[in-house]
Structure 1
């Protein structure tokens, strides 16, 4: 059986013992903090536990609710390059805390509680990282952000219907035409991405002025292929969803696309 910690006790404990490990609404982290860590984030006065684990290859992040109240919240991770202004934004669900599933000692592989799923006395504690809500390879971040040193900010936010779609579109936006990119996506020598159509019109990167190359940005192409976006005419009643290419093709003939009457 999972447990919910007394909210007042948890907040008081962090204020007394770990004041430097708690903040309001967001927490900024550095991609060199190897190991398992626990932080407390207060959002509208309610506490959320931030678990993050790093090794030399990957980053895993989860945010857990320890509240009995049912809140429509999610968490957002923004990865920011130290050397450039580039950033990546991702979002994931906040999940209820369960001490059998989300024990910090289990994450450290030092837990000996028999009833904990990932304790060291169990047979499958190594998969605890795979159960966390968000994970990413550091090499993937370095490639897209054109930077080896990256820091990231985790913040709690109200869950909205279009928040994830807006985040994904922002990461896929071509810096020239401002349209969502899809395969083939090319990049400059410093790693900045540009869509296929605009790459044929330019020889230099619009962001850093370095030479454009024929190298493909397969990571972004994979995102464009796998994500599910809503038609831009959703507010007019369209229910179509699809990946970037499917949405572009659909919107050319969407039945609820606004018709603009020109006055002569």
Structure 2
């Protein structure tokens, strides 16, 4: 046994004996369990969710394993790893070998070659940028999507309650997300679910053979538990809600991947729209305040607001002091500008230092602590 950096490297003939009895990978991922009466069979942490008749935690072995280094379980990889690092390395190892997750296909290849394999062998299930699947009531499926050099695997499934979708990445998703849209030819409505997280692809869990009940692998988590596949879908849509909205006709769901750059651009565009909206609101408020300004005393008007025959407004206080409009010299009678009065009740006026200006009725600050009711108690508000 060779020692390196305070860790021991067991000889190849020894480490080859330290294999999981289920998946045949090294016993290099915790927790490690003894699963036989005679002490000859163990299962690794990769298979810990698979139930066995016997499952006794091999604590002594794990203590010793922490002092050892192990080779990567993928044969073409030359990495030597400490016990604590094996799990994370194998998730992203470029030499990682998988068996095609598509039903009725038993080809094995390196994980990074999945796009080329689907493009060559399962072209109807290979897409770029986005894809659509019709008649979601009819079947479950697996699809491969390629975008900006990255590969994503889509799994669609359903049970009696929900439709379920999971989007997996063969490498770090780097902040990418996806959107699901459900539409129907018989309806103008759309169900849209955005900002959905992408998860790492795990061939032990994301196997289409497990989904359709044909998986023969003894170390796949859901090979004997078909219903559990649906439960673990990351995005779910209630079937009853879909049926109420669309009926039972042909339904299409569309998957669109958004990478980090596109998400940033979308956020930027949304923020820009919000800034524009805020700017328009501020301009509108300024215009309304100008409309509420009495042309004579320059104070904000509150009901009742009068107008001349030509439509020029004046506050009730100034009206009492004049017979003709100061703008066009038209006669001012008792014609009310009810539209402007309604605006005055909804526009919040600027704050004032005068404590007597604190009363607020209908969104307008008044100059009196008494109630204002139409023309019975005319008031106006001093500008700041």
TM-score by length of 2: 0.38
Corresponding residue for 1:237?
none
**Distance in 2 (alpha carbons) for counterparts of 1:56 and 1:115:** 27
Determine if contact 2:130/2:254 at 8 Å carries over to the other structure: yes
Is 1:115 the equivalent of 2:219? yes
Q: How does 1:202-241 map to 2 (within 5 A)?
A: none
Which whole-Å deviations, capped at 9, do the CAs of 1:153-195 have from their partners, x for residues lacking one? 01111354887xx9xxxxxxxxxxxxxxxxxxxxxxxxxxxxx
SS at match of 2:221: coil
Q: How does 1:61-140 map to 2 (within 5 A)?
A: 61-67=165-171, 69-91=172-194, 92-120=196-224, 124-140=225-241
Corresponding residue for 1:59?
163
Determine if contact 1:78/1:90 at 8 Å carries over to the other structure: yes
Is 1:41 the equivalent of 2:41? no
Match of 2:123 among 3, 19, 29: 19
SS at match of 1:128: helix
Determine if contact 1:42/1:48 at 8 Å carries over to the other structure: yes
Question: Which consecutive unaligned segments of at least 5 residues does structure 2 have?
Answer: 1-45, 47-89, 99-109, 271-382
Distance 1:84 1:70, change over 3 A: closer
Which whole-Å deviations, capped at 9, do the CAs of 1:187-226 have from their partners, x for residues lacking one? xxxxxxxxxxxxxxxxxxxxxxxxxxxxxxxxxxxxxxxx
Determine if contact 1:84/1:147 at 8 Å carries over to the other structure: no
Q: Which has the larger radius of gyration?
A: 2
Alpha-carbon distance, 1:34 to partner? 2.5
Alpha-carbon distance, 1:77 to partner? 0.5
TM-score by length of 1: 0.53
**Distance in 1 (alpha carbons) for counterparts of 2:139 and 2:191:** 23
Determine if contact 2:182/2:191 at 8 Å carries over to the other structure: yes
Aligned length: 162
Distance 1:35 1:55, change over 3 A: farther
Alpha-carbon distance, 1:56 to partner? 6.8
Report which of the two has the higher share of strand.
1
**Distance in 2 (alpha carbons) for counterparts of 1:104 and 1:147:** 26
Corresponding residue for 2:245?
144
**Distance in 1 (alpha carbons) for counterparts of 2:227 and 2:146:** 30
**Distance in 1 (alpha carbons) for counterparts of 2:173 and 2:228:** 28
Question: Which consecutive unaligned segments of at least 5 residues does structure 1 have?
Answer: 167-262
Match of 1:28 among 109, 126, 132: 132
Distance 1:7 1:45, change over 3 A: farther
**Distance in 2 (alpha carbons) for counterparts of 1:73 and 1:41:** 13
Determine if contact 1:34/1:56 at 8 Å carries over to the other structure: no
Alpha-carbon distance, 1:146 to partner? 6.2
Quote the RMSD (CA, aligned, Å).
Answer: 2.9
Which whole-Å deviations, capped at 9, do the CAs of 1:82-116 have from their partners, x for residues lacking one? 12321111032110011222111111122222221
Determine if contact 1:117/1:125 at 8 Å carries over to the other structure: no
SS at match of 2:114: helix
Alpha-carbon distance, 1:52 to partner? 0.6
Corresponding residue for 1:211?
none
Determine if contact 1:51/1:62 at 8 Å carries over to the other structure: yes
SS at match of 2:140: strand
Alpha-carbon distance, 1:36 to partner? 2.6
SS at match of 1:35: coil
Greater RCO, 1 or 2 (C-alpha within 8 Å, sep 6+): 1
